[in-house]
Amino acid sequence: MRNLKLTIEYEGTNYHGWQFQPNSPTIQGIIQDKILTITGERVKLIGAGRTDAGVHATGQVANFRLKGDIPLPTLWKGLNSLLPSDIRITELQQVEDKFHARYHAKSKEYKYQIFTGMVLSPFFYRYVYHLPLKLRLEEMFAAAELFVGQHDFTPLSPAVRGKKNAIREVFSSSFIQQKEMLIYRIRANGFLQYMTRNIVGSLIEVGKGKLSRENIQELLKNPDLSDLVAPTAPPQGLFLIKIEY
């Protein structure tokens, strides 16, 4: 039995996230269906990251086990011919038997795009959060750096409170400004549900002057704090861009 690794790009607008749901279209579910169509085998696709509904990916990684001996180029071509045009397999390779896309990932990297101009092109609305405001960029950029390090992110992922370990280590957290486009990038050893979007939401509140750098520090020091949690940023600006092993 071969262990096969996929690198996947997808435009997440039309999907209810990565993880399989019996009555809703998901990335995992659709790829598994196409593998079944081509090989006759019902497989379990293991994704490195579970992206939410409406979130995109340019570097998702997954693996699955296959009994049959179909040549990889044939399988790769077949998948891309059957998959909808908003999902593509960019790489397919056989890996060692012990490889696990999720558990062996050393880091994951996301980016979030915010457009602050008054008029957003209709060609970009699916890929950015349109926020036509004058933000306090210096304060936002300084606050972003506070997330670097090991922290308990329970306040930024309330669904995990009391259920799982919420400590994660962030390796980098910063903004890039390209005229009216703000691109936030964060790399960590793991992410909790809505964690990145809640971080972005908090940084936006800093940019609006509703939260301060000190508020962010307090949020990271006190995992029981909830009254400083900002609105969750919408999904369309978020991309899973890289998994490192």
Residues annotated as catalytic are 52
**Exposure string (b/e) for 84-111, b if CB count within 10 Å is 16 or more?**
eeebebeebeeeeeebebbeebebbbbb
Distance, in Å, from the CA atom of 55 to the CA atom of 9, rounded to the nearest integer, reads 11
Distance, in Å, from the CA atom of 19 to the CA atom of 28, rounded to the nearest integer, reads 6
- DSSP string for residues in 213-226: HHHHHHHHH-TT--
Output helix, strand, coil percentages for the chain, rounded to the nearest 5: 30, 30, 40
237: left (phi > 0), else alpha (psi -120 to 50), else beta?
alpha
**Tokens for 15?**
């999907």
Distance, in Å, from the CA atom of 4 to the CA atom of 92, rounded to the nearest integer, reads 7
**Tokens for 19?**
């993880």
